């Protein structure tokens, strides 16, 4: 009994260590989450319509408070418009502008919903072998003067920008990712 418990404990510790080190676990979703990173270096290969469609569908699938699905997604492919939002964008990058109603409904926690939709698309892009990065830096300048040019639906404000594109196969994903706090720093139990 004692031996069995000890073996189970060692297995849990071993698996946990593997996961934290980013080594493959054999579970493709967990492996993807552990290797995901915010890309900066993109190539100019175009994102296919079929990949874009799948990414958007994964955004639609995000859970939301009371299934309110308060988001709109605006796809920007035009290189000049993309560069007007993210100055160092690479031609071929696609932006997905995630918006929500200007007058948010009380008690709906909509910011949470937008974040989940954005994260779904961020992860989906990487699952399809693309690179992605979330931005909130450009949001205020979009909302204060570029909404019409970017075709943001009337009565909506942009809350996040997702940049998607191809990344060079030479980019080393694990050294491109930023470091994370340790489990001990973040998690507590009672």
Ligand X SMILES: Cc1cc2nc3c(=O)[nH]c(=O)nc-3n(C[C@H](O)[C@H](O)[C@H](O)COP(=O)(O)O)c2cc1C
Specify the DSSP element, H or E, that contains 151: none
Q: Which residue stretch of 41-49, 53-61, 76-84, 127-135 sits at the interface with ligand X (rule: CB under 6 A)?
A: 127-135
Tell me: does residue 178 bind ligand X (CB under 6 A). yes
Q: Which residue stretch of 1-9, 15-23, 52-60, 131-139 sits at the interface with ligand X (rule: CB under 6 A)?
A: 131-139
Contact 76, 94 (CB under 8 A): yes
* Least distance between ligand X and beta carbon 29 (Å): 17
Tell me: does residue 56 bind ligand X (CB under 6 A). no
Nearer to ligand X, 127 or 134 (CB): 134
Dist. CA 92–CA 90, nearest whole Å: 6
What residues between 9 and 38 interact with ligand X by CB under 6 A? 37-38
DSSP E strands, the chain: 72-76, 94-101, 131-135, 156-165
Q: Which residue stretch of 6-14, 48-56, 93-101, 128-136 sits at the interface with ligand X (rule: CB under 6 A)?
A: 128-136
Nearer to ligand X, 74 or 126 (CB): 126
Nearest to 38 by CA among 110, 83, 86: 86
Nearest to 71 by CA among 85, 58, 81, 82: 58
Nearest residue (beta carbon) to ligand X: 137
Tell me: does residue 137 bind ligand X (CB under 6 A). yes
Question: How far, CA to CA in Å, does 181 sit from each of 38, 113, 178?
Answer: 17, 25, 10
Which parts of this chain interact with ligand X (CB under 6 A)? 37-38, 133-137, 177-178
């Amino acid at each position: 009994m004692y031996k069995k418990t000890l073996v189970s404990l060692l297995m849990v510790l071993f698996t946990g260590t593997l996961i934290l080190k980013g080594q493959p676990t054999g579970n493709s979703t967990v492996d993807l989450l552990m290797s995901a990173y915010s890309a900066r270096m993109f190539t100019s290969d175009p994102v296919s319509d079929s990949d874009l469609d799948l990414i958007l569908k994964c955004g639609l699938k995000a859970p939301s408070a009371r299934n309110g699905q308060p988001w709109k997604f605006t796809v920007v492919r035009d290189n000049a418009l993309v560069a007007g939002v993210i100055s160092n964008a690479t031609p071929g990058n696609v932006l997905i502008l995630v918006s929500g109603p200007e007058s948010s409904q009380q008690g709906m926690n909509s910011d949470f919903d937008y974040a989940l939709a954005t994260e779904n698309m961020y992860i989906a892009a990487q699952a399809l072998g693309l690179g992605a990065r979330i931005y909130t830096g450009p949001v205020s300048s979009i909302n204060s003067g570029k909404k019409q040019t970017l075709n943001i639906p009337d009565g909506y404000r942009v809350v996040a920008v997702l940049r998607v594109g191809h990344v060079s196969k030479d980019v080393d994903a694990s050294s491109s990712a930023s470091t994370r706090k340790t489990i001990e720093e973040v998690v507590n139990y009672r």
